[in-house]
Chains A and B, each alone.
Chain A
């Protein structure tokens, strides 16, 4: 149980194009999903919190117009990197919280990540 998938696992794109990354909770419903970014040899850093049916909350320093997040259903959140540039090349990983688990704040289940390379 508690499986989170991401698609694609790896994407290469040209500078200036947009890339969409999907995060799905496969066997549970998630009202809240989180998007993290990890640059080489750096820590996972939270980019934004995504709540189903509402606008995402972005961390300081993360451009909301560049990283578009849509959480249209209880099992799917998408991150679109718009007008991607080489400095956006990174490992993007999502996590999700199970709606039905007891407790106000419960464990985040992580996806396998998406490696984005912008040429």
Chain B
């Protein structure tokens, strides 16, 4: 079993839809959870960062962490065509991967928001 599982999609939704992206993980030591957005031919950029369990909201984006289920989610409300990108979850036992920077990534989910 891989440490982090993420459905690669692709996921296609109409503009204005609520998007739900998810990852599951197996390592109980993970404490820090991140979502990255990657546009075509660009590097991943940090979208959301969460420590331990709970919810975090930033504009149209909400990140949820359920450590008891080892399950994290990213919700996008009122999705826009500009949200079309690949979304990667990443996690680590130490903040931003610690000194060794070892972030464990999911495969990424390719999202397309149609106008």
SS of B interface (majority) = loop
A-B interface pairs (CB < 8 A), number? 65
Q: Number of contacting residues on A, CB 8 A?
A: 28
CB within 8 Å for A49 and B100 given contacts A104-B95, A113-B43: yes
Chain A CB within 8 A of B74 CB: no
CB within 8 Å for A110 and B101 given contacts A104-B95, A105-B94: no
Tell me the chain A residues, 62-116 only, with Cβ under 8 Å from chain B.
93, 95, 97, 103-113
Residues of chain A whose beta carbon lies under 8 Å from any beta carbon of chain B: 4, 6, 9, 32, 34, 41-46, 49, 57, 59, 93, 95, 97, 103-113
14 contacts between A and B (CB under 8 A): A9-B41, A41-B107, A43-B2, A43-B104, A44-B105, A46-B101, A46-B103, A49-B99, A57-B100, A97-B101, A105-B101, A106-B96, A110-B36, A112-B42
Excluding A9-B41, A46-B97, A113-B41, 18 further A-B contacts by CB distance (< 8 Å) are A32-B101, A34-B101, A43-B104, A43-B106, A43-B107, A43-B108, A45-B105, A46-B102, A46-B103, A59-B102, A93-B43, A95-B43, A103-B95, A105-B94, A105-B101, A107-B49, A110-B45, A113-B43
